[in-house]
Amino acid sequence: MIVLLGLLIFAALLILCVIKALIWVWWKPMKLERQLRRQGIKGPPYKLFHGNLKDNSAALMGAQSKPMKLSHSIVPRILPFIHKTVQNYGKLCVFWHGVTPRVIVADPELIKEVLLNKSGDFYKIRPNPFVLLLITGVTTYDGEKWAKHRKIINPAFHLEKLKIMFPAFRICCKELISRWEKLVFDGPFEIDVSPEFQRLTGDVISRTTFGSNYEEGRRIFQLQTEQARLVSQVIQSAYIPGFRLLPTKSNSRMKKIERESKALFEEMIKKREKDLKQGECQNDDLLSLLIDSSFKEVQEHGNSESVGLTIDEIIAECKLFYFVGQETTYSLLVWTMVLLGMHQEWQEQAREEVLQVFGRRTEPDLDGLSQLKIVTMIIYEVLRLYPPFVMLTRLTHKKVNIGEITLPQGVEIGLPIILVHHDRDIWGEDAQEFKPERFAEGVSKATQNRISFFPFSWGPRICIGQNFALVEAKMTLVMILQHFSFKLSTTYVHAPYTVVTLQPQYGAQIILEKLYWVFKALNKVWWKPRKIEKCLRQQGMSGTQYKFLFGDLKEAASTKSFIWLGATPMMNIMDPELIKEVFANKSGNFSKIEPDPLVKLLADGLVNHEGEKWARHRKIINPAFHLEKLKLMVPAFYASCDELVDRWEKLVSNGSFELDVWPEFQMLTGDSISRTAFGSNYEEGRRIFQLQTELAKLIVDFFDSQLFSIFRFLPTKRNRRMTEIEREIRTILTDMINKREKAIEAGEAHIQDLLGQETTSSLLVWTMILLSMHPDWQDKARKEVLEVFGTDKPSFDGLNNLKIVTMILFEVLRLYPPVVLLARENDKEVRIGNVTIPPGVQLAMPTLLLHHDRELWGEDAEEFKPERFSGGVSEATKNQLSFFPFGWGARICIGQKFAIVEAKMALAMILQRFSFELSPTYAHAPYDLVTLQPQYGAQIILHKL
């Protein structure tokens, strides 16, 4: 009886189960199918138990069994079954995902309704428990739990937090670049960028999640990577409930990994929580931001456990970041490389833009990245054609209406991103083509405000890491474009397929090549000038139009506010106030212009140094030019001048003599520098000047015959001689300095020699010419000198008392400044007055033009009138910066007093002994060769007094 009863119960249960199973596999699907069909949602008929899964797998296997040609029509390969279904049944259709209907919604209007739904009618489909080991956290929750997690995570992805994480991006990208640079060292190199980007994106997410504890974090993510591999192996086979509990080898390994990573996570999180409570946490990584945000939430809404996140929940979110953060950005980067490898013209355009914004060496910053228009267009077009997630899915949580139709509870919804992104009805006949120009005016214009482009989804559940991913991708791309050019390898096989995200099935083989100097040169002579020109014009400045390579070098001088020195724009600054701004700039924004390497041979040292190096050198040298040191040099000046006037006296022994005073003064100033700089070693110093003079001639000669200074490395006779001279000068100087153990570096002596010599001789020669042209001033000066010194040797104090002579020297310096133009270059964007000047513009302060400006000096600006300076320089200039023969500001000429004392000494001694006038053979032809010089010499007739 009992047995019978048992059998009956068993039979009843069996019948119940069978009925339930029938309802599950037959009655319910058929009912749902009818409901859907009645509303016009059609599709392939339901098949018992498997639905259309077998058809789907067969179509997928067929499509992915062979590679495809190099085209972007990838939908039939990625979603072959759904593609066919939509073709046959329209953009709202259904197929059977096992016993559950999956309604495919490929119409932007309906997609909008699903994604923008705020009442929580659509749930996420719960993934397979194995997948939950990898993809957990916020993306798998719904309803209140989702809202709570999203609220806590959101702040960690705000833009200002991205700024904090930015350095981590940079470090990882730099590592990639230097790895690649080694590979291409010997020439083009083929590389599969797929594992490279996996490593990069993994590194980025490890660093941004764990910050300084990145090494510890790395271990966790290594475990996660292994877990991902095991999970993807298991989910290849059909899912059997309870299978996870079986003690198979891979199941035990997965459990062990889970345990180990949980323990590591817990340890780190507890430490952070402790630090945070003690205010020691830096909050510069995702983990801290998450803990912090959760902590604040608890503080704000009472100490309830249900408000913040538990440790397990924080762990789940971090794991999610790792998985999505890596897989998605990796997919975006890999396809961007493939597509730019295929479409070289866009690669060029992107590089042009990158070089314009950042140049070749500047590391990208967040502001610069946001200026990249072409790169953004390219990234969007890659995301359109190759979206990392090809489909989004949802589940109706209750009966819900979309558009005209009503979907019953328990229906899956598929939003096939890739199908919509490739839809000809939406994107036009060229939908399968790579055309980044579609996005030239942004996403809304390209999509006409429809949801037809949604790689990051849309609505409340839009990707939280969208900005993170875009910044990371842009940064990587920029640095790659700055350093390499690349093309697809012939071994690359086009076979996009999906393993969670869209990936290249057989890798992404790219041939990398180091960017050659051609690009560098092109940037210099084409991209950069064009960009600067645009920027200046936008601010209303007039200027000549840049002409490739030569700029305005072949043209006559122009009155425009900027002109082109070859590929370099030069802005003339004519307003004393603005000049002051440039000179006074203490932040180091303006630097001296790097001279041609050849010119550096002649004049190196302090004038050409920048920043700290300049400050250090200037500090060492300054004391040597102090007034009391100058006093010590006076005997040396006197000795040199004495030699000169002695020589001249011999020449005029017959009463008068004509001579070209230009070489005379060059010799004099060279001589006195040798004496002051080298003291008793002055004969050796002289040798240096002979060598310098020979070198200067060779260099001028070189520039007459060669366009590029790089040719100086060719082994010609002249080039070899230049190198020999340079070496000899250095040897003599080093030797002398070593001997005297002076703290002056070799370069320093070198530059003071040349500049000191050239400028003072320029001042002296023009003074002689002007005093010859204006005998009244010559007489006044002589009178003063004789009053102060009689015929005695001029003393230092006496020289300081010469008022007329000083006025004359200032007026000569005004009309004939030895250095006619001072120039600066800005290495960063700067503002002067109302103008923003982009980096790379040369600013010219044309001393000569300002000194002759009628508006500043009056109608008689061109006349020689030393009386202007009778009340001193500030009175003459009305305290404006309109007189600056020695420069101004921190970098004012260090030898200013030296030059004036020397010139006064020479002039006083000449005036004591001779009167002079211009020879009729003198031809007035001032010209600028480093300093302002008389082109055909300065022929003067000397008369013995």
Tell whether residue 911 is a contact of ligand HEM (CB under 6 A): no
CA distance 549 to 547: 6
Q: Strands, DSSP E only, in 539-624? A: 562-565, 568-572, 590-592
260: its two tokens: 């180990």
Tell whether residue 211 is a contact of ligand HEM (CB under 6 A): no
The residue among 261 and 806 lying less far from ligand HEM, judged by its C-beta, is: 261
The residue among 48 and 116 lying less far from ligand HEM, judged by its C-beta, is: 116
Q: 500 — phi, psi (to 5°)? A: 65, -60
Contact region with ligand HEM (CB under 6 A), list: 465-473, 646-654, 886-894, 895-903: 465-473
Does the annotation list 463 as a binding residue?
yes
Could you tell me how far CA 768 lies from the centroid of its own chain? Answer: 53
| Residue 461 Cβ vs ligand HEM, minimum distance, rounded to whole Å | 4
**Which residue of 455, 543, 817, 866 would you call a contact of ligand HEM, by CB under 6 A?**
455
Tell whether residue 388 is a contact of ligand HEM (CB under 6 A): yes
CA distance 480 to 553: 35
| Residue 110 Cβ vs ligand HEM, minimum distance, rounded to whole Å | 16
How far is the CA of 706 from the CAs of 552, 602, 703, 843, in angstroms?
19, 18, 5, 26
Q: What is the dihedral of CA 766, 767, 772, 774, to 10 degrees?
A: 110
**Which residue of 231, 289, 324, 668 would you call a contact of ligand HEM, by CB under 6 A?**
324
**Which residue of 332, 446, 799, 850 would you call a contact of ligand HEM, by CB under 6 A?**
332
DSSP string, 196-232: HHHHHHHHHHHHHHHGGGHHHHHHHHHHHHHHHHHHH
Contact region with ligand HEM (CB under 6 A), list: 61-69, 328-336, 655-663, 826-834: 328-336
In sequence order, the 6+-apart residues with CB closer than 8 A to the CB of 619 are: none
| Residue 207 Cβ vs ligand HEM, minimum distance, rounded to whole Å | 12
| Residue 102 Cβ vs ligand HEM, minimum distance, rounded to whole Å | 14
Q: Are 754 and 773 in contact (CB under 8 A)?
A: no
Tell whether residue 335 is a contact of ligand HEM (CB under 6 A): no
**Which residue of 265, 389, 766, 922 would you call a contact of ligand HEM, by CB under 6 A?**
389
DSSP string, 388-455: SS--EEEEESS-EEETTEEEPTT-EEEE-HHHHHT-HHHH-TTTTS--GGGGTT-HHHHHTTSS---T
How far is the CA of 682 from the CAs of 670, 676, 869, in angstroms?
10, 8, 37
How many C-beta neighbours within 10 Å does residue 487 have? 16
Angle 674-676-678 from CA coordinates, rounded to 5°: 55
CA distance 781 to 837: 46
x-or-dash pattern for ligand HEM, window 886-905, by CB under 6 A?
--------------------
| Residue 217 Cβ vs ligand HEM, minimum distance, rounded to whole Å | 14
| Residue 60 Cβ vs ligand HEM, minimum distance, rounded to whole Å | 21
**Which residue of 148, 422, 461, 868 would you call a contact of ligand HEM, by CB under 6 A?**
461
Can you state the percent helix, strand and coil of the chain, rounding each to 5?
60, 10, 30
The residue among 194 and 329 lying less far from ligand HEM, judged by its C-beta, is: 329
x-or-dash pattern for ligand HEM, window 136-175, by CB under 6 A?
--xx----------x-------------------------
Tell whether residue 377 is a contact of ligand HEM (CB under 6 A): no
DSSP string, 634-663: HHHHHHHHHHHHHHHHHHGGGSEEEEEHHH
Tell whether residue 465 is a contact of ligand HEM (CB under 6 A): yes
Tell whether residue 81 is a contact of ligand HEM (CB under 6 A): no
CA distance 843 to 572: 6
The residue among 134 and 469 lying less far from ligand HEM, judged by its C-beta, is: 469
The residue among 329 and 752 lying less far from ligand HEM, judged by its C-beta, is: 329
**Which residue of 210, 439, 456, 590 would you call a contact of ligand HEM, by CB under 6 A?**
456
Tell whether residue 463 is a contact of ligand HEM (CB under 6 A): yes
Tell whether residue 101 is a contact of ligand HEM (CB under 6 A): no
How far is the CA of 914 from the CAs of 344, 903, 908, 911, in angstroms?
76, 16, 10, 5
| Residue 37 Cβ vs ligand HEM, minimum distance, rounded to whole Å | 28
Tell whether residue 583 is a contact of ligand HEM (CB under 6 A): no
CA distance 899 to 876: 21
613: exposed, middle or buried (Cβ count in 10 Å: 0-12, 13-18, 19+)? exposed
The residue among 395 and 571 lying less far from ligand HEM, judged by its C-beta, is: 395
Q: Strands, DSSP E only, in 55-178? A: 92-97, 100-105, 122-123
Residue count at the site for ligand HEM (CB under 6 A)?
A: 22
Tell whether residue 329 is a contact of ligand HEM (CB under 6 A): yes
Tell whether residue 464 is a contact of ligand HEM (CB under 6 A): yes
Q: 393 — phi, psi (to 5°)? A: -125, 150
The residue among 455 and 605 lying less far from ligand HEM, judged by its C-beta, is: 455
**Which residue of 85, 206, 328, 674 would you call a contact of ligand HEM, by CB under 6 A?**
328
How far is the CA of 935 from the CAs of 599, 664, 762, 823, 939, in angstroms?
20, 15, 12, 23, 11
Q: What is the dihedral of CA 688, 691, 693, 694, to 10 degrees?
A: 180
**Which residue of 457, 505, 656, 800 would you call a contact of ligand HEM, by CB under 6 A?**
457
The residue among 131 and 907 lying less far from ligand HEM, judged by its C-beta, is: 131
Write out the binding residues for ligand HEM, residues 46-65 only, by CB under 6 A: none
How many C-beta neighbours within 10 Å does residue 355 have? 24
The residue among 96 and 321 lying less far from ligand HEM, judged by its C-beta, is: 321
Tell whether residue 877 is a contact of ligand HEM (CB under 6 A): no
Contact region with ligand HEM (CB under 6 A), list: 260-268, 318-326, 764-772, 929-937: 318-326
| Residue 416 Cβ vs ligand HEM, minimum distance, rounded to whole Å | 12
3-state secondary structure 661-710: HHHHHHHHHHHHHHHHHHHHHHHHHHHHHHHHHHHHHHHHHHHHHCCCHH
Contact region with ligand HEM (CB under 6 A), list: 90-98, 326-334, 672-680, 907-915: 326-334
**Which residue of 468, 484, 637, 648 would you call a contact of ligand HEM, by CB under 6 A?**
468
Q: Which of 54, 37, 132, 140 is nearest to 90 (CA)?
A: 37
Query: Which segments are annotated as binding site for heme?
Result: 463
Question: Which positions lie near ligand HEM, rule CB under 6 A?
Answer: 138-139, 150, 320-321, 324-325, 328-329, 332, 388-389, 392, 455-457, 461, 463-465, 468-469
